[in-house]
Amino acid sequence: MITVDNQTDTPIETAHLEPIAEALTPREVELTLCDDAAIRILNREHRHIDKATDVLSFPLEGDLPGQPLGSLVISLDHVHTRAQELGHAPEEELALLFIHGLLHLLGYDHETDRGEMRAEEARLIREFGLPESLIVRTEGTV
């Protein structure tokens, strides 16, 4: 289950994210949709990087009954800009960022693994019928 908090005035469909979450975890995922200014503040506070980013993941420690897996924060400014640049729907860009962030919540880390996270992203992109161009991005060639 996904709990969505859209903190922007921009509506965007999120129902297509539920099957992705259900395929990967039985636990609740909190999803906050914000703008570049808000995600920049979070990125500065939590990663000491003073710039906007696309997605941030905040896993929760422990496995108490009913406890969410963690929280994802995604910039809708980034979603719309990147979708327009690459010629696909904002919902598809949102799905890619959701997959990426959710894999981080599950313990994957593309900065330290040997390609496992990228391979899992590519598998999920295919499984959920997302554009093949998103696979190329996860492999670091775009």
pLDDT digits (tens, 9 = 90+) for 116-132: 888 899 999 999 998 77
Q: Are 88 and 133 in contact (CB under 8 A)?
A: yes
Count of domains observed in the chain: 1
SS3 content of the chain, % helix, strand, coil (to 5): 50, 15, 35
Decide if 104 is inside a domain. yes
How far apart, in whole angstroms, are the C-alpha atoms of residue 115 and residue 110?
7
Decide if 15 is inside a domain. yes
| pLDDT tens, residue by residue, 17-40 | 999 999 999 999 999 999 999 999
Decide if 88 is inside a domain. yes
Decide if 63 is inside a domain. yes
| pLDDT tens, residue by residue, 76-102 | 999 999 999 888 899 999 999 999 999
Q: Enter the pTM of the model.
A: 0.90
Supply the CATH number for residue 50's domain.
3.40.390.30
Predicted confidence at residue 142, as pLDDT, reads 38
% of the chain beyond a pLDDT of 70: 93
| Mean model confidence pLDDT for the chain | 90
Counting beta carbons within 10 angstroms of the beta carbon of residue 133, is it exposed (0 to 12), middle (13 to 18) or buried (19 or more)?
middle
What sign does the CA torsion over 77, 97, 9, 88 have? positive
Predicted confidence at residue 117, as pLDDT, reads 87
Decide if 134 is inside a domain. no
Predicted confidence at residue 132, as pLDDT, reads 72
| pLDDT tens, residue by residue, 64-73 | 777 899 999 9
Decide if 138 is inside a domain. no
Decide if 61 is inside a domain. yes
Decide if 130 is inside a domain. no
Q: Could you list the residue range(s) of the whole structural domain that residue 94 is in?
A: 2-108
